[in-house]
Chain A
Amino acid sequence: MSDTATPPTPAGPKAIVLAHGNVADALVAAVDLITGRGDRFSPLSNQNLGAAEIDALLRERVDALGARVIFTDLPAGSCNFAACRLLKDRPGLIVVTGVNLPALLQFATRDTASDADAVAAAVERGGSALRVLTGRPSGH
């Protein structure tokens, strides 16, 4: 297949991933590595920032991108509180916490859904991906 025949990346929901340390960068890099769709996400870190500074950084990024979805890592973390604080004056915004790679992969590759549908699918995929595997798989 020639380059000109490569289908363009479909325009899907744009989301921000806000997490501790380098988690957001790493997750988005992994999404890009696996799907080539890392540009669906804008990674942000709370590193070395106080609560007010995290709020300001996130607000600025949401406004700049027109983002409608924010993924955060920890329910009781400063990232999640900053994201939820934005819900007050942005009625259409959706915040998802407890993000993991399977959730972001699902979100990145869901092309036709609304934000709410894409988020629901991501939550289902991310939640079900967390499982315990022990012993020999049956049938082997």
Chain B
Amino acid sequence: MPSQAMLNHVTLTVNGVPVVVQAASTVAVAMMIAGQACRTSVNGEPRGPLCGMGICFECCVTIDGKVHCRSCQVLCEQGMEVNTEK
């Protein structure tokens, strides 16, 4: 039987490393908890979420192989594989 704590949490991987987040967290939150940049800028700088509402595209990541997903607009799912965009 899964415990209550497990039901309230979701495990996904960020750049191959497992991250546990509260259920109903966005992928952008998972990136921040993992301490990973979402994307690498044209000049090679790390970038993370800025606007939090789907406007700025700074939080774009690759989710389960789909590129350029705005991580602040996507909810975490169990087993999701998320990667920083280079």
Q: Report if A and B associate in a common complex.
A: no
